[in-house]
């Protein structure tokens, strides 16, 4: 029998990880919901932002909060750049071409990062207080990351429901053409959406670099999980993605303790395959 | 004898004679590259069977991996000849393909959504291979146990030229399958590709079955390609035979060459492999990563500016010329 | 106010409209009738900018609008209530109306416009917090019209407003359209329900297979055989 303390600790870690994964999944879903395109290279944008924070904080010694803000700003900028340079020209192309364009970006980013910074793992070392709750060591970095992720998602929710631009973004995702009849230039809405999605990637980057080391193929580790979460939650379904993030992270964390980290991933993936078979529309999809 | 037939004949003769041409030192290397082109063109053709119907799979690496690892592990651990191992591999792949295709076709998962699902599936296989490192060798891969001598049963030969002709035959077989499928499926394919609104009931069922069928065929052929590659290289590795990287490369080659034509995948594969080799030679060991960076950059540029692929674009250009010469007399009501 | 001259338009290789010429004067209510597939919806989409015309001229209040994208045409004062209503199902009634006032000048007069819409369609005021997707067909149609009014238009394009509505609802709807017209808006409506719409408008055009076949005052057209024979019911 596994020590219930280990299980609880794993469950908590799963929860904390789930928060950041949710940020990634929501960003990807936002862009897909509005623009109808999946950014395969999304987590690689996170990787670039992680490097940015690394260099700012670990190498040049700037404070972490500044690094975080810079990461968010960089993410937003990258988001806009990707949309304007790569997505815009192919908005009316066949889906396979669109997927390949962001796929090509994945190759490009991973190789360019290898060329610039080699495959060495880099991490940001923060001196943080030690925390123990009921004899369980809890990573303060993880806790902070979780809290900030939740705050960001709350912010996103308020933005989408309480602001004019946010409501317009939701409207475009429901009926792009009808919104253009209201006087909204779809291209502008796309740019704003890409900026927001990119900013979320930037924030995720800042939150991840304090927990994990970055290397050019970071996207290969976190990308597939993010994609699976999106599919599991139902592509385009924000609430579904949120729920699926925690389901996945808990499966990974708990299986990781019972068997091994890799088995954890394997089991998560098997759950994924089963779910596709049972409910391809996503966990919260209504049976049609 | 039309000029096209003469050119085709000449090219084929060249292909058959290639391993015996006096190319000196670079002959081994040329044959090596050509074998790769044949095998990957075959795989690309297999992918295009699905791709042309909107089933944009980004996870074909899964089928490569299942094929290659099944035969290799069965041979390494049980001495089962790869010929029989291939049969097992094809069955496993077929089952796996049905598992993925069935829900997707029932719920009309296509386009981006399908791409994402298959992408994740491809990664599942790769991670499974890495996780079970005790018998798959993990990310370091596993070498095909050498038979020690040339053996048809073990599919191992010292002379690359045997592989060359085997790959050549495989490539031709792939073309034949594609061609036959294209002809016979013409009518039902038209219905399948056509609007889903039309008579969903009867046509819908056929569409579903057709999609599953084409997925299974594509998967099984891809597995065969993976087996061929594994036997040739004598080594299997989860990064070269599974995962996003190889899956994307396959799709790139086909789309670049032209997804809807017989020779499109071949043209695209030949060009992408030639490009990759050229960049690798150019940069060698200095500037690690630069070759891939340029490769990725060029791929993005090609996708944006040549959406119909190279083969497709050239064909469109040639088609438009004679049409412009025939003068249509005014508008028809 | 609105003038189309020899407009030809279509989708890809297919041409849906041939040489269409029509006018709508300020304050008028004009209908375009015709059978299914005549090109009526294409006509609306060309006017509102969703499709660019292949040839011909479109002018609105003297300004040329052929080829102008939809999101700019709204600014000229043309509001399009699309076929099938196309309200935003996941947004509330109030949010839908908010989106209707997307234009800066409409946003400035938001409160007034909203009051006016709620006065015309009290049902919308009652259900303003409700998810638009859960409204009945008739309510959704009213919402779609109300949303169009929020942009402070001069000309309102109505594409098949009676589609999918019960006959009782259709009568109510046309009544409401009459009231909208009385508020001073110019109306161009496209309809299959010829009988009802001819009672509502001043003039009408008959569109068949992409071409204008006849035009005239509504009362005269209503007498004609083709109206009585061919397009009865629906």
Rounded CA-CA distance C139/B204 in Å is 34
Domain-embedded: residue A259? no
Is residue B273 within 8 angstroms of chain A, CB to CB?
no
pLDDT of amino acid B10: 81
pLDDT of amino acid A272: 79
| DSSP secondary structure, B164-183, as one string | HHHHHHHHHHHHHHHHHHHH
For residue A147 the two structure tokens come to 């809290």
DSSP state of C92: B
Rounded CA-CA distance C90/C93 in Å is 9
Rounded CA-CA distance A210/A140 in Å is 10
Degrees to nearest 5, angle at CA B252 with B248 and B253: 120
How crowded is the C-beta side of B204, counted as CA atoms within 13 Å? 9
Helix (H, G, I), strand (E, B) or coil at A131: strand
pLDDT of amino acid C226: 62
Q: Kindly tell me if the per-residue pLDDT of C168 is higher than 90.
A: no
- What are the helix (H) ranges across chain A? 4-35, 42-53, 64-82, 95-117, 140-162, 164-174, 176-180, 186-209, 218-233, 238-258, 261-278
Which residue from A167, A178, A185 is facing C95, i.e. has the nearest CB?
A167
Say which residue the tokens 């590709």 belong to.
Answer: B193
The per-residue pLDDT for range B14-31, each reduced to its tens digit, is 777 777 776 667 778 888
Contact across the interface for B121 and A273, Cβ inside 8 Å = yes
- Beta strand C29-33 with C203-208 is parallel
Domain-embedded: residue A241? no
Q: Which domain holds residue A77?
A: 4-218
- Count of CB pairs separated by less than 8 Å, A with C: 67
Contact across the interface for C99 and A168, Cβ inside 8 Å = yes
Q: Could you tell me which residues come within 8 angstroms of residue C137 by beta carbon, excluding any fewer than 6 positions away?
A: C85, C164, C165, C166, C169
The answer for C 43-62 residues in CB contact with A (under 8 A) is 48, 50
Domain-embedded: residue A230? no
Helix (H, G, I), strand (E, B) or coil at A94: coil
Residues in chain A within 8 Å Cβ distance of C131? none
Total number of domains in chain A:
1
Rounded CA-CA distance A13/B298 in Å is 41
Q: Could you tell me which residues come within 8 angstroms of residue A217 by beta carbon, excluding any fewer than 6 positions away?
A: A110, A119
Helix (H, G, I), strand (E, B) or coil at C206: strand
Q: Kindly tell me if the per-residue pLDDT of C233 is higher than 70.
A: no
Rounded CA-CA distance B157/C32 in Å is 77
Q: Kindly tell me if the per-residue pLDDT of C176 is higher than 80.
A: yes
| pLDDT level of residue C234 (50, 70, 90 thresholds) | very low
pLDDT of amino acid B310: 77
Which residue from A177, A183, A184 is facing C50, i.e. has the nearest CB?
A177
**How far, in Å, are B274, C88, C138, C140, C141 from residue C85 at the CA level?**
54, 9, 10, 7, 6
The answer for A 4-33 residues in CB contact with B (under 8 A) is 32
Helix (H, G, I), strand (E, B) or coil at C207: strand
Question: A233 versus C147: which is more confidently predicted?
Answer: C147
Q: What is the mean pLDDT of residues C157-178?
A: 88
The per-residue pLDDT for range A236-285, each reduced to its tens digit, is 788 888 989 998 899 888 888 887 777 777 788 778 777 777 766 665 55
Q: Exposure of A165 by Cβ count < 10 A (0-12 exposed, 13-18 middle, 19+ buried)? A: middle
Closest C-alpha to B86, from B66, B104, B106: B66
Rounded CA-CA distance C168/A40 in Å is 51
Rounded CA-CA distance B14/A237 in Å is 55
Q: Please answer whether residues B56 and B62 qualify as being in contact, where contact means their C-beta atoms are separated by less than 8 angstroms.
A: no
- Nearest chain A alpha carbon to B99: A277
For residue A48 the two structure tokens come to 């670039």
Domain-embedded: residue A82? yes
Closest C-alpha to B269, from B210, B313, B310: B310
Largest distance between two CA atoms of chain C: 49
Q: Kindly tell me if the per-residue pLDDT of C97 is higher than 90.
A: yes
Q: What's the predicted TM-score (pTM) here?
A: 0.85
N-terminal to C-terminal alpha carbon distance within chain B? 42
Instruction: For C101, list phi and psi in degrees, rounded to 5.
Output: -95, 35
Q: Could you tell me which residues come within 8 angstroms of residue B8 by beta carbon, excluding any fewer than 6 positions away?
A: none
pLDDT of amino acid B322: 57
Rounded CA-CA distance A52/A116 in Å is 12
Is residue B80 within 8 angstroms of chain A, CB to CB?
no
- Beta strand C2-11 with C55-60 is antiparallel
| pLDDT level of residue A155 (50, 70, 90 thresholds) | very high
Q: What is the mean pLDDT of residues A203-216?
A: 92
Find how far residue A151's CA is from the centre of its chain.
15
- Which of the residue ranges A14-18, B186-190, B261-265, C95-99 would you say has the lowest mean pLDDT? B186-190
Contact across the interface for C88 and A183, Cβ inside 8 Å = no
pLDDT of amino acid A124: 87
Contact across the interface for B112 and A105, Cβ inside 8 Å = no
Rounded to the nearest 10 degrees, the angle between the axes of helix B244-257 and helix A95-117 is 130
Rounded CA-CA distance B87/B83 in Å is 7
| pLDDT level of residue C189 (50, 70, 90 thresholds) | very high
Q: Please answer whether residues A282 and A233 qualify as being in contact, where contact means their C-beta atoms are separated by less than 8 angstroms.
A: yes
Helix (H, G, I), strand (E, B) or coil at C81: strand
Q: Kindly tell me if the per-residue pLDDT of A286 is higher than 60.
A: no
Identify how many contiguous H helices and E strands chain C contains and give both numbers.
11, 10
Contact across the interface for C70 and A167, Cβ inside 8 Å = no
Question: A159 versus C230: which is more confidently predicted?
Answer: A159
Rounded to a whole number, what is the distance in Å from the CA of B245 to chain A's nearest CA? 8
Other beta carbons less than 10 A from residue C55's beta carbon: 11
List the pLDDT tens digit at each of the 333 positions of chain B: 677 788 878 888 877 777 777 666 777 888 889 999 999 999 999 999 988 877 889 999 999 999 999 999 988 888 888 888 899 999 999 999 998 888 777 777 777 888 888 888 888 888 888 878 888 888 888 888 887 777 777 777 777 788 888 899 999 999 999 988 888 765 565 555 544 434 444 555 566 777 888 899 999 999 999 999 998 988 898 888 888 889 999 999 998 888 888 888 999 999 999 988 888 888 877 777 888 888 889 889 988 888 777 776 777 777 766 555 444 444 433
The per-residue pLDDT for range C106-116, each reduced to its tens digit, is 888 899 999 99
Residues in chain C within 8 Å Cβ distance of A189? none
pLDDT of amino acid B331: 40
Residues in chain A within 8 Å Cβ distance of C51? none
Rounded CA-CA distance A21/A39 in Å is 16
pLDDT of amino acid B216: 93
Domain-embedded: residue A65? yes
pLDDT of amino acid B120: 82
Contact across the interface for A269 and B120, Cβ inside 8 Å = yes
- What are the helix (H) ranges across chain B? 3-17, 27-51, 60-78, 82-106, 111-131, 133-136, 160-184, 186-193, 200-233, 238-241, 244-257, 264-283, 290-305, 309-325
Question: B198 versus C33: which is more confidently predicted?
Answer: C33
Other beta carbons less than 10 A from residue A81's beta carbon: 15
Closest C-alpha to A233, from A221, A242, A225: A242
Domain-embedded: residue A267? no
The per-residue pLDDT for range A35-82, each reduced to its tens digit, is 988 899 999 999 999 999 999 998 898 888 999 999 999 999 999 999
ipTM more than 0.90?
Answer: no
E strand or H helix at C198, and its extent? helix C194-200
Residues in chain B within 8 Å Cβ distance of A235? 112-113, 116
- Nearest chain B alpha carbon to A87: B304
Q: Please answer whether residues C182 and C189 qualify as being in contact, where contact means their C-beta atoms are separated by less than 8 angstroms.
A: no
- Beta strand C186-191 with C29-33 is parallel
Domain-embedded: residue A70? yes
Q: Please answer whether residues C189 and C198 qualify as being in contact, where contact means their C-beta atoms are separated by less than 8 angstroms.
A: no
Domain-embedded: residue A105? yes
Q: Exposure of C105 by Cβ count < 10 A (0-12 exposed, 13-18 middle, 19+ buried)? A: exposed
Say which residue the tokens 């056929």 belong to.
Answer: B206
| DSSP secondary structure, A208-266, as one string | HHTTS-B-TTHHHHHHHHHHHHHHHH-TT-HHHHHHHHHHHHHHHHHHHHHS-HHHHHH
Rounded to a whole number, what is the distance in Å from the CA of C156 to chain A's nearest CA? 12
Q: Kindly tell me if the per-residue pLDDT of A141 is higher than 80.
A: yes
Helix (H, G, I), strand (E, B) or coil at C155: strand
pLDDT of amino acid B260: 83
Contact across the interface for B106 and A37, Cβ inside 8 Å = no
The answer for B 196-255 residues in CB contact with A (under 8 A) is 243-245, 248, 251-252, 255
Say which residue the tokens 């829900």 belong to.
Answer: B103
Q: Exposure of B164 by Cβ count < 10 A (0-12 exposed, 13-18 middle, 19+ buried)? A: buried
């Amino acid at each position: 029998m596994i020590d219930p303390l280990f299980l609880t600790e794993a469950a908590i870690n799963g929860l904390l990880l789930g928060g950041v994964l949710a940020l990634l999944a929501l960003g990807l879903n936002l862009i897909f919901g509005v623009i109808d395109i999946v950014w395969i290279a999304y987590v690689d944008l996170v990787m670039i932002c992680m490097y940015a924070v690394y260099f700012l904080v670990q190498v040049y010694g700037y404070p972490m909060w500044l690094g975080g803000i810079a990461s968010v700003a960089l993410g937003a900028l990258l988001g806009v750049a990707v949309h304007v340079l790569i997505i815009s020209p192919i908005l009316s192309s066949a889906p396979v071409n669109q997927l390949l364009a962001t796929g090509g970006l994945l190759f490009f980013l991973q190789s360019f990062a290898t060329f610039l910074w080699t495959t060495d793992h880099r991490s940001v070392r923060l001196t943080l207080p030690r925390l123990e709750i009921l004899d369980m060591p809890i990573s303060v970095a993880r806790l902070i990351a979780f809290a900030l992720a939740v705050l960001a998602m709350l912010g996103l929710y308020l933005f989408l429901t309480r602001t004019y631009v946010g409501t317009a973004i939701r409207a475009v995702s429901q009926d792009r053409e009808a919104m253009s009849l209201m006087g909204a230039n779809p291209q502008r809405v796309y740019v704003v959406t890409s900026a927001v999605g990119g900013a979320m990637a930037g924030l995720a980057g800042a939150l991840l670099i304090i927990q994990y080391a970055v290397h050019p193929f970071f996207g290969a580790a976190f990308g597939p999980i993010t994609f699976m979460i999106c599919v599991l939650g139902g592509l385009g379904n924000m609430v579904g993605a949120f729920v699926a993030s925690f389901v996945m992270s808990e499966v990974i964390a708990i299986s990781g303790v019972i068997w091994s980290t890799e088995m954890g991933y394997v089991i998560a993936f098997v759950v994924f395959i089963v779910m596709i078979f049972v409910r391809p529309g996503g966990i919260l999809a209504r049976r049609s | 004898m039309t000029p096209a037939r003469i050119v085709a004949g000449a090219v084929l003769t060249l292909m058959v004679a290639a391993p015996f041409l006096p190319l000196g030192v670079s002959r081994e290397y040329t044959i090596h590259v050509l074998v790769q082109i044949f095998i990957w063109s075959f795989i690309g053709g297999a992918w295009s069977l699905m791709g042309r119907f909107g089933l944009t799979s980004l996870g074909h690496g899964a089928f490569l991996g299942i094929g290659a690892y099944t035969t290799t592990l069965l041979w390494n651990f049980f001495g089962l000849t790869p010929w029989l191992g291939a049969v097992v591999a094809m069955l496993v792949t077929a089952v796996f393909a049905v598992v993925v295709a069935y829900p997707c076709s029932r719920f009309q998962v296509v386009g981006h959504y399908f791409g994402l699902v298959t992408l994740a599936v491809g990664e599942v296989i790769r991670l499974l291979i890495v996780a079970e490192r005790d018998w798959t060798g993990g990310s370091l891969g596993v070498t095909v146990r050498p038979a020690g001598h040339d053996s048809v049963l073990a599919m191992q030969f010292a002379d690359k030229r045997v592989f060359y002709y085997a790959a050549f035959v495989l490539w031709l077989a792939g073309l034949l399958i594609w061609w036959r499928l294209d002809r016979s499926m013409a009518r039902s394919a038209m219905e399948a590709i056509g609007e889903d609104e039309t008579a969903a009931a009867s046509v819908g069922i056929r569409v579903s079955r057709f999609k599953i069928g084409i997925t299974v065929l594509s998967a099984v052929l891809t597995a065969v390609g993976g087996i061929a590659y594994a036997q040739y290289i004598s080594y299997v590795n989860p990064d070269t035979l599974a995962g996003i990287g190889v899956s994307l490369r396959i799709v790139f080659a086909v789309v670049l060459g032209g997804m809807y034509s017989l020779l499109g995948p071949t043209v695209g594969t030949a060009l992408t492999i030639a490009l990759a080799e050229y960049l690798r030679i150019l940069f060698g060991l200095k500037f690690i990563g630069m070759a891939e960076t340029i490769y990725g950059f060029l791929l993005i540029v090609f996708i944006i500016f040549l959406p119909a692929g190279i083969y497709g674009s050239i064909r469109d250009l040639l088609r438009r010329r004679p049409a412009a010469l025939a003068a249509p007399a005014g508008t028809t009501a | 106010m609105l003038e189309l001259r020899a407009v030809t338009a279509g989708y890809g290789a297919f041409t849906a409209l041939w040489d269409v010429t029509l006018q709508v004067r300020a304050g008028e209510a004009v209908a375009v009738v015709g059978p299914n597939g005549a090109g009526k919806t294409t006509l609306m989409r060309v006017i509102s900018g969703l499709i660019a015309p292949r040839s011909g001229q479109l002018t609105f209040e003297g300004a040329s609008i052929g080829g102008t994208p939809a999101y700019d045409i709204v600014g000229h004062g043309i509001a399009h209530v699309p076929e099938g209503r196309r309200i935003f199902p996941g947004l509330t009634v109030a949010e839908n109306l908010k989106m209707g006032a997307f234009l800066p000048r409409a946003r400035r007069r938001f409160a007034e416009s909203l009051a006016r819409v709620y006065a015309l369609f009290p049902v919308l005021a009652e259900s303003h917090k409700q998810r638009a997707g859960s409204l009945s067909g008739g309510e959704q149609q009213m919402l779609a019209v109300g949303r169009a009014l929020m942009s402070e238009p001069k000309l309102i394009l109505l594409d098949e407003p009676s589609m999918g509505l019960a006959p009782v609802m259709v009568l109510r709807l046309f009544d409401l359209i009459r009231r909208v017209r009385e508020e001073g808006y110019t109306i161009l409506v496209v309809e299959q329900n010829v009988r009802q719409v001819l009672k509502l408008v001043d003039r009408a055009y008959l569109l068949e297979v992409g071409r204008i076949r006849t035009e005239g005052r509504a009362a005269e057209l209503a007498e004609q055989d083709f109206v009585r024979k061919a397009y009865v019911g629906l």
